[in-house]
């Protein structure tokens, strides 16, 4: 199995991404989960990560708390999407599994140094603060990273937190700039892909019909999450952004995209946090990321329902 570190700010869609990874031990070995401030403050994302591990029946998963604010800006959160707790929807028990002592950034650095070179994949599902801090403190880890597969950014779909920017990149654009410039292979799941991963009514029913605690919780989480997108945009269902990252590790053939240059806007007032993706190769700048553009949505939900059903 592929060794990964999930860096996350749960978030209902983060939760589903984690469940999918923990349900897929043949393909994925979760070395640890690192939390970051994003959808809600750090204390809540850390608690939520532990709730999700327990829901998956994997309380021995190691969870490390990370950075509680972006590198050089005030934290912007998204309670308007995820609710006050960040995981509104299901009623889940308070976690009892331990939180690890080590800081998330130290865990990321130590793991990349200890594991064989080119064997560890980083999976950021939130603002990129922890990853950028690790790269800044230990530049030697960059060439040791197998791949960074992240959810963030947009091209045709443009923005969801401002007209120009996607939430994860917008919250910490300086961190994103550092990550996109680090030289490691990067695969990006932007809104262009994740807005095709919509939990329609029949897909939600399929989760509920699993009848298991995880299946029912996923249905309740996506029900909650869906309210926002339906009311606001009249969309068919909630976009499952972050699970695209873990699904890619299991079935990369569900996705297609282009290897292109992607730069991050960090100075403009209007387009701060925009992923300037050179889809047509007009800039002459060297490619630094594989930017996904399409998804087999039925295949994605078939995988997700099957795996959640194994928990
Ligand atoms: C991203 O922002 C968060 O609200 C979601 O968890 C996802 O990671 C989508 O823009
Ligand atoms: Ca997230």
Consecutive sets of 10 residues in the chain, 311 residues long: mean pLDDT of each? 98 97 98 98 98 98 98 95 94 97 98 98 98 98 98 92 96 98 98 95 96 97 77 76 98 98 97 97 97 98 98 96
- Identify the CA nearest to 221 among candidates 237, 202, 244: 237
Torsion, Cα 79 11 183 137, to 10 degrees, reads 80
153 lines ligand 1 (CB under 6 A): no
Report the pLDDT value the prediction gives residue 238, as an integer from 0 to 100: 87
Unique residue bearing structure tokens 């999918």: 20
125-140 burial, b if ≥16 CB within 10 A, otherwise e? bbbbbbbbbbbeebee
pLDDT of residue 234: 66
With a 6 A CB cut-off, is 160 part of the ligand 1 pocket? Answer: yes
Q: Residue 242 Cα, ligand 2 centroid: separation in angstroms?
A: 6
Q: How far apart are CA 20 and CA 304, in angstroms?
A: 7
Interface predicted TM-score of the whole assembly (ipTM), two decimals: 0.99
pLDDT in the model for residue 230: 64
User: What pLDDT, on a 0 to 100 scale, did the predictor assign at position 280?
Assistant: 95
Residue 30: per-residue pLDDT: 98
Number of Cβ atoms within 10 Å of the Cβ of 211? 9
Query: In which region does residue 94 sit, left (phi positive, over 0), alpha (psi from -120 to 50) or beta (all else)?
Result: beta
Ligand 1 binding pocket includes 265 (Cβ within 6 Å): no
Do 64 and 100 touch, CB atoms closer than 8 A?
Answer: yes
Ligand 2 midpoint to CA 139 (Å): 25
């Amino acid at each position: 199995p592929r060794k990964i570190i999930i860096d996350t700010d749960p978030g209902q869609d983060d939760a589903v991404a984690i469940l999918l990874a923990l349900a897929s031990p043949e393909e994925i070995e979760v070395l640890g989960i690192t939390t970051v401030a994003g959808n809600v403050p750090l204390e809540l994302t850390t608690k939520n990560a532990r709730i999700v591990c327990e829901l998956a029946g994997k309380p021995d998963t190691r969870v490390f708390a990370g950075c509680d604010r972006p590198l050089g800006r005030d934290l912007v959160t998204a309670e308007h999407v995820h609710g006050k707790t960040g995981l509104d929807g299901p009623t889940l028990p308070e976690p009892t599994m331990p939180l690890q002592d080590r800081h998330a950034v130290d865990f990321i650095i130590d793991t990349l140094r200890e594991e064989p070179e080119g064997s560890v994949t980083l999976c950021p599902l939130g603002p990129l603060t922890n990853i950028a801090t690790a790269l800044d403190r230990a530049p030697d880890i960059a060439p040791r990273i197998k791949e960074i597969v992240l959810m963030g950014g947009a091209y045709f779909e443009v923005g969801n937190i401002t007209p120009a920017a996607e939430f994860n990149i917008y919250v910490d654009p300086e961190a994103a700039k550092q990550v996109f410039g680090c030289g490691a292979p990067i695969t990006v799941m932007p809104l262009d892909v994740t807005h095709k991963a919509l939990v329609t009514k029949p897909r939600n029913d399929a989760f509920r019909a699993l009848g298991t605690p995880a299946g029912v919780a996923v249905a309740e989480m996506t029900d909650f999450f869906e309210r926002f997108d339906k009311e606001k945009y009249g969309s068919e269902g909630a976009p499952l952004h972050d699970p695209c990252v873990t699904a890619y590790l299991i079935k990369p053939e569900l996705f297609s995209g282009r290897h292109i240059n992607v730069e991050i806007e960090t100075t403009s007032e209007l387009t701060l946090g925009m992923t300037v993706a050179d889809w047509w190769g007009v800039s002459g700048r060297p490619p630094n990321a594989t930017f996904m553009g399409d998804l087999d949505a039925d295949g994605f939900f078939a995988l997700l329902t099957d795996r959640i059903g194994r928990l």
